[in-house]
Structure 1
Amino acid sequence: MSIYLNWAATSYQKPAAMTDAVTAYLQNNHYENQNRALAGVEATSIALHTREVLAKLFNVSDASNVLFTENATMSLNMVLNGLLRSGDHVLTTQMEHNAVIRPLERLKDDGVTVTYLPCDQTGYLPPETIKPAVLPNTSAFVMTHASNVVGTIQSVTECFKIAHELGLVTVLDASQTAGYLPIDMVAMGIDILVFTGHKSLLGLAGIGGFCLAPGLADQIEPWLVGGTGNASELPRQPNFLPDKFEPGTPNTIGILSLGASVKALQAMGLAKIQQQEQALTAQFLAGLAELPVTVYGPKDATKMVPVISVNGQGIDPGELSWALHDRAGIITRCGLHCAPMAHKTIGTFPEGTVRFSLGYTTTAQEIETTLTALATVLKEGV
């Protein structure tokens, strides 16, 4: 029997209420598209309901400002390509995922300039580094909420308060935090919130999106265009929400799964889940302190999401990850985790690390089993 410790990549066990909802939808032959036929009323209703669920979760004042895409990567491409113009300067951090880095690097070809703010060796961005980096043409600040490599939680509210004082649009990548940490767009000063559905929100893969503060839609040009089922007479993309940012056939099953999984999360209690995963993270960190490994990041469960990167001294992370799986059925992730600058920051480039990430069904016994297996592999060698 395997132990799944790769929740930062995708959630493993889904809530029964979600799988039941998806199964019932499929078994009842619901294959309609929103806005495409009279039979599509139910699909439209599912999307509206899920928008309202997410608007409440993230404190979005208008549910039509919750937009659905395939995932966080698609959302970030739509937002960054639609928001930034030639001549703009954008700030981001060294801890970003390639879903942020690669769109920004491509936008350099269009005349956008980028500054990667330095983080300390734990992956934390000191908020005071923001103001000195702002230029007359700086228009936006893009930041991950928590590192997918070492779990470090950034001081979003403080950072975005500074950014707003300097007139910047704030963009938060909440891929690792949505469904684990409470997120309030208003209180935290988030102009654009990007999320994915298949991680801590516990939905199916292939659904994600972004949420906009009031008035932000007018600042973003549609990057992906096509049919919407509404205003079909127009040769250009409609300018009203959600159609402006939702071309093509929607992933109704994914949207349904997301609405159902978020309601299941709320029934379980987000605070309870966070407390449970935080305790397991602390347990794992305490056990790692007794082993001959290097642990990266804050090493404090209260300052991180349940994502822990380690290296066995002198052991290639790929070989260590494979040995854990081969001998004990423990599923981790090794390498650079699509975040090369983060690894340069913590000093693990180019080999990377072995990443252990926990979820809502991880148990204390699984943590102890993993620590025992890791100790054995380190002692016996790979």
Structure 2
Amino acid sequence: MKQPVYLNHAATSNHKFKKTVQTLCQYLEENNTINANRGFQNRDELNLIFEARQALADFFHGPDAAHVLFTANATTSLNMILNGLLRAGDHVLTTEVEHNAVARPLHLLETQQNVSVTYLHCEPDGTLDPKQIDALIRPETKVLVMSHASNVLGTILPVRECFQLAKSYGIITVLDSAQTAGFLPIDMEAMSIDVLAFTGHKSLMGLAGIGGFVLAKNMEKKISPWMSGGTGSASLSFEQPTFLPDKFEPGTMNTMGILSLKSSLNSINQLGLEKIRTHERALTKRFLKGLEELPVRVLGCREAIERVPVVSITATAFDSGELAQQLFDEYQIITRSGLHCSPLAHQTAGTVKSGAVRFSFGWNTTMDEIDYTLKALKEVLSE
């Protein structure tokens, strides 16, 4: 078995596509002296960025390239969106399994800006009944923001049903796709998504430090700029430009990150999302099956088809940190233990005091690595 065995793809993908690495190296060697919108020799740079926007608009079924905005990551995007949408007196709905990328901005808005927050109830396995939304909506409810899938429980949430219900009340819908973009197909129009936040370094297989959000048509009119600064346009005014994409893109752009995302999306499209999903679901199914023979508790739904390729476990005889450390020290298996920046999900699962050990798989994970990990777990737990 080639080591180390990397099973922490829910945090970040470790091996990028070979073509992406080659493309980035070529760019650094030949063409990295141009700054978009800030020089007369910027045509190649602008074309690169436009093509990346268009690729993402196509991938998520967004309106057009101008409605794709680049940021550093999904967390930055969600902060920009929530702070740009919500005002004192507004009410927002979210779920009991949200990552801190949603929970912390909402907490600040609740404690500092008099925004009220209601959490949709989730069962211990992370499942959610959309019907509860009807009873929780108020006249001042403005936004429903939710993760597509929990980074702890792995459970895929019923986004389409929740968002269609919210839209029937005129509520703005915001999706955190950090755990699903590059694994599940996402169609903004069909799923009633007004704003889609994404990150590039997980299943989209780009570099860390690039992410963004996609807006449905006319949504830009409802969101105020949360950040402002130089855009290379309308420079005489102290006001942030009102047109896209400049309204939400102050400062120098991460061209290397954008290029990595453009290249990785091309590879994903060539492979086909269905092929990627089939492989990663097969890995998850095999791992879940193997865990049935071990003295562990599996968090989230038990069927691979109901979850992303993320499996968290607890073992009565082991502290989660000690178990993860032993797997690494003795078997060179890389996982992640603790609360995974998602205490809400752990509260839902009843593991907020113990934490859990999370195993997460990607396109490069092999069946041999799954079998090796199960064997290692059996040996460690038998001690």
Superposition TM-score tier, normalisation by shorter sequence: over 0.9
Residue 352 of structure 2 aligns with which residue? Answer: 349
After superposition, residues 253-332 of structure 1 pair within 5 angstroms as 253-332=256-335
1:21 aligns with 2:23: yes
Bigger shift: 31-40 or 97-106?
A: 31-40
What secondary structure sits across from 2:118 in the alignment?
strand
Deviation, structure 1 residue 61: 1.6
Determine the structure 2 residue equivalent to 1:47. 49
1:80 and 2:49 correspond: no
- Structure 2 distance, partners of 1:29, 1:194, is 29
CA distance in 2, matches of 1:177, 1:243: 27
Percent identity over the alignment is 54
* 1:128-167 correspondence to structure 2 within 5 Å: 128-167=131-170
Displacement of 1:111: 1.2
Whole-Å separation in 2 of the counterparts to 1:170 and 1:67: 17
User: Is the aligned partner of 1:118 residue 2:121?
Assistant: yes
SS at match of 1:38: coil
Shift of 1:307: 0.2
1:169 corresponds, among 172, 175, 191, to 172
1:32, CA displacement in angstroms? 1.3
Stretch moving more, 116-125 or 177-186: 116-125
Query: 1:178: which partner in 2?
Result: 181
Deviation of the 1:314 alpha carbon: 2.6
Q: Distance in 2 between matches of 1:163 and 1:61?
A: 20
- What code does the residue aligned with 1:79 have? I
Q: Deviations over 1:245-274 (max 9, x none)?
A: 000000001000000001011111110010
Give the number of equivalent residue pairs. Answer: 380
Distance 2:236 2:91 in 1: 37
Q: Which one of the candidate residues 96, 106, 109 is aligned to 2:108?
A: 106
* Structure 1: distance between partners of 2:128 and 2:219: 25
Per the TM alignment, residue 29 of structure 1 is displaced from its structure 2 partner at its CA by: 4.0
TM-score, length-scaled by structure 1 = 0.99
Matched, 1:207 2:206: no
Partners of 1:21 and 1:124 in 2: how far apart? 41
Match of 1:188 in 2: 191
Unaligned runs of 5+ in 2: none
Cα distance in structure 1, aligned partners of 2:8 and 2:300: 17
Q: Give the letter for the 1:343 counterpart.
A: H
Q: 1:2 aligns with which of 1, 4, 17?
A: 4
Please state how far the C-alpha of 1:174 moved relative to its aligned partner: 0.2
1:336 & 1:116 partners in 2: Cα distance?
19
Q: Does 1:63 align with 2:27?
A: no
Match 1:34 to one of 31, 36, 41: 36
Aligned to 2:246: 243
**Aligned structure 1 segments of 4 or more residues deviating by more than 4 angstroms:** none
State the distance in 2 between where 1:33 and 1:131 align.
49
Q: C-alpha separation between the residues in 2 aligned to 1:241 and 1:185? A: 19
Cα RMSD (Å): 0.7
Secondary structure at the aligned position of 1:153 is classed as coil
Question: TM-score normalised to the size of structure 2?
Answer: 0.98
Partner of 1:217: 220
| d(CA) in 1 for partners of 2:119, 2:176 | 15
What is the CA–CA distance in structure 1 between the aligned matches of 2:175 and 2:187, rounded to whole Å?
Answer: 11
Query: Within 2, Cα distance between the matches of 1:31 and 1:289?
Result: 55
The amino acid of 1:91's aligned partner reads: L
Q: In structure 1, how many angstroms separate the alpha carbons of the residues matched to 2:117 and 2:335? A: 33
SS in 2 for 1:39: coil
Q: Secondary structure in 2 aligned to 1:21? A: helix
Distance in 2 between residues matched to 1:263 and 1:85, nearest whole Å: 39
